[in-house]
């Protein structure tokens, strides 16, 4: 039986589009079963609907506490028998309790070579810092921000002619190829985590 994936997105969903395409082309041999979004304006919602993916809109403002908000998310994950949570521009940190519950079942993509340039402005931060090389990291999620064990990384050179916009474009191209690759490694059961190291079998 195919593994079942949930993608979490708060924004336009460009990585979601790459994942939808990879599932369609059998580069990811799994079922894209659910999109979870906390933003009713997210472009990802329309993309998911167009691809026939079930959507769960869970807005933080509708819940008195983070715990209740996450409880609702967990309900959706359990109802849909999700095996892997894929964060694709989901702009919220999970509580340690949720991370522990889905240990090594949550992955994230970050537009820099972690541990450098953590946070939500990584491309601009690397550009402003004058980095000659930045890149993309896919990692398991733990209770700290942009911190869990690294699955895949790929470097992206920063050219002297680059602007923040052209650099972002280059990084997104790598993301859209690297994320499906990492997801398929998980689906195939080829990732083994020991401490901070992830080996590919």
CATH code of the domain in which 190 resides: 3.40.50.170
Residue 192 has pLDDT above 90, yes or no: yes
> Where a domain ends, among 72, 102, 132?
102
How confident is the model over 121-130, as pLDDT tens digits?
999 999 999 9
> Where a domain ends, among 102, 118, 152?
102
How confident is the model over 43-86, as pLDDT tens digits?
999 999 999 999 999 999 999 999 999 999 999 999 999 999 99
Percent share of the chain, pLDDT over 90: 99
DSSP SS3 for 143: coil
Residue (of 129, 131, 147) closest to 139 by Cα position: 147
Mean of pLDDT values over 144-169: 97
Q: Are residues 68 and 114 in the same domain?
A: no
Structural domain for 27, as ranges: 1-102
Q: Which residues are catalytic?
A: 110
The pLDDT assigned to 117 comes to 98
The pLDDT assigned to 1 comes to 83
Record the pTM: 0.96
The pLDDT assigned to 104 comes to 97
Residues 184/27, Cβ–Cβ less than 8 Å: yes
Mean of pLDDT values over 19-30: 98
Residues 49/55, Cβ–Cβ less than 8 Å: yes
The pLDDT assigned to 179 comes to 98
Strand pairing partners for 139? Answer: 108, 150
The pLDDT assigned to 178 comes to 98
Q: Are residues 114 and 93 in the same domain?
A: no
The pLDDT assigned to 160 comes to 97
> Where a domain ends, among 36, 71, 102?
102
Q: Are residues 48 and 145 in the same domain?
A: no
Q: Are residues 97 and 136 in the same domain?
A: no
How confident is the model over 159-184, as pLDDT tens digits?
999 999 999 999 999 999 999 999 99
């Amino acid at each position: 039986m195919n593994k079942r994936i949930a993608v979490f997105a708060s924004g336009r969903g460009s990585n979601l589009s790459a994942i939808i395409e990879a599932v369609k082309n059998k580069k990811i041999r799994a079922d894209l079963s659910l999109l979870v979004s906390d933003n009713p304006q997210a472009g990802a919602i329309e993309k998911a609907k167009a691809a026939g993916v079930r959507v769960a809109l869970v807005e933080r403002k509708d819940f008195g506490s983070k715990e209740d908000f996450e409880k609702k998310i967990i309900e959706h994950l359990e109802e849909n028998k999700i095996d892997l949570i894929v964060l694709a521009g989901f702009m919220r940190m999970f509580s340690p309790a949720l991370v522990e519950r889905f240990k090594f079942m949550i992955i994230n993509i970050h537009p820099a070579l972690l541990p450098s340039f953590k946070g939500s402005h990584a491309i601009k931060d690397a550009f402003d810092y004058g980095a000659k090389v930045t890149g993309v990291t896919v990692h398991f999620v733990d209770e700290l921000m942009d911190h869990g064990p690294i699955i895949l990384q790929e470097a992206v050179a920063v050219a002297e002619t680059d602007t923040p916009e052209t650099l972002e474009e280059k990084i997104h191209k790598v993301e859209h190829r690297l994320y499906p690759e990492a997801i398929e490694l998980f689906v195939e059961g080829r990732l083994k985590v020991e401490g901070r190291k992830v080996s590919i079998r």
